[in-house]
Amino acid sequence: MRFKNPIPLAEIASLIDAELIGDPQAQVTGINEIHRVESGDLVFVDHPKYYDKCLRSAASYIIINAKVDVRKGKALLVVSDPFVAYQQIVSTYQPFDPISKPIADSAVVGPGTVLMSGVCVGPRAVIGKDCIIHPNVVIGAGAQVGDRVVIQAGTVIGSDAFYYNKRPHRPLPYTRMLSCGNVIIEDEVEIGANCTIDRGVTHETRIGAGTKLDNLVQVGHDTRIGKNCIIAAQVGIAGATVIEDGVTLWGQVGISKTLTIGAGAIVLAQSGVPSSLEGGKVYFGSPVEEASQKKRELVWIKRIPQIWQRLNGQSGS
């Protein structure tokens, strides 16, 4: 999340009651997760396993629950509970903004765009020109939709991320991490009916120009889908995944989080993708393998009863 204006580090330290180690005059430009941080950003870390990764990241300021050595040019905000501090920062600088009317006053709708019955457009959302938005579509706060986009009935753009902090010692251990990112849909995208596209936790979920989604597709938070991809019905894509240009995902493909599918890859129906895939190849199975290899395996599997009978016959002779 980028702040509207840079915020003094000392102001944030006061807000979260942190001990500031570093320059109190420093200016903070945003808050992001570790995989999306840039210079000027805040990041939070609450487990020693990830201290070093955060300290070596591009983030300039680290909310942390221990005093550690810090590199030149960085600063620490030491608190007892960094997750609570993150929640407080987000709720202060991007407070909950409910959708109180079908088209928010701060929303922008381009010329030639058609909004059908029941469409809901949230605060600060922007829709480009010559789009067709079918009945009962929800376009959430801050979402950006390009030109000549088609969104079919019942789709939700910009729902909160499915992202929780777990604390096993509590009777209700899961606390939702507040989402302050958005969704960006580029030009000429078509999205089918009853799709759900979650906004980023702190950054963006993006769908590239010319990409087409069938009905009932789930796109997780912070996922980046490239240009001219084809995604068939009932595909599920977990968070922070990168799908490069020209990828085809056929029906009911399931994709795990934080992986990359290379440009031009084709994943055949009902496949499960647990790790990154090279581009330009055809894949099948769960877990996926190159389709030609998987098909050979299936041929041999079908021969197992015949081989078993032959071996038993030989042993009994």
Domain co-membership, 158 together with 232: yes
Domain co-membership, 150 together with 224: yes
Domain co-membership, 55 together with 29: yes
- The answer to whether residue 223 scores a pLDDT higher than 90 is yes
Structural domains of the chain, count: 2
- Report the percent of the chain where pLDDT is more than 70: 99
Domain co-membership, 206 together with 155: yes
Per-residue pLDDT tens digits for 47-60: 899 999 999 999 99
Q: Which domain holds residue 87?
A: 2-93
Averaged pLDDT, 87-111: 94
Domain co-membership, 117 together with 75: no
Work out the pLDDT band at 27, boundaries 50, 70, 90. very high
This prediction has a pTM of: 0.91
Domain co-membership, 211 together with 236: yes
Separation CA 40–CA 37 (nearest Å): 8
301 within some domain:
no
16 within some domain:
yes
- The answer to whether residue 99 scores a pLDDT higher than 90 is no
Query: Which of 148-152, 180-184, 197-201, 313-317 comes out lowest in average pLDDT?
Result: 313-317
CATH number assigned to the domain comprising residue 76: 3.40.1390.10
101 within some domain:
no
pLDDT given for residue 316 in this prediction? 53
CATH number assigned to the domain comprising residue 252: 2.160.10.10
Within 10 angstroms of residue 110's Cβ, the number of other Cβ atoms is: 15
Domain co-membership, 115 together with 37: no
- The answer to whether residue 43 scores a pLDDT higher than 90 is yes
Work out the pLDDT band at 305, boundaries 50, 70, 90. confident
Look at residues 142, 152, 220, 239 and name the one whose alpha carbon lies nearest to residue 181: 142
Cite the active site residues. 221
Domain co-membership, 131 together with 254: yes
Phi and psi, residue 290, nearest 5°: -55, 135
Work out the pLDDT band at 310, boundaries 50, 70, 90. confident
pLDDT given for residue 122 in this prediction? 96
Averaged pLDDT, 305-315: 78
Domain co-membership, 16 together with 141: no
- The answer to whether residue 297 scores a pLDDT higher than 60 is yes
- The answer to whether residue 8 scores a pLDDT higher than 90 is yes
Separation CA 108–CA 98 (nearest Å): 17
299 within some domain:
no
Phi-psi region of 270 (alpha: psi -120 to 50; beta: other; left: phi over 0): left
Averaged pLDDT, 242-254: 98
Domain co-membership, 60 together with 142: no
Domain co-membership, 140 together with 181: yes
Q: Is 265 within 8 Å of 241 (Cβ atoms)?
A: no
Write the CB contacts of 25 (distance below 8 Å, at least 6 apart in sequence).
8, 9, 10
Domain co-membership, 35 together with 135: no
Q: What's the mean pLDDT when you consider all of the chain?
A: 94
Per-residue pLDDT tens digits for 188-211: 999 999 999 999 999 999 999 999
308 within some domain:
no
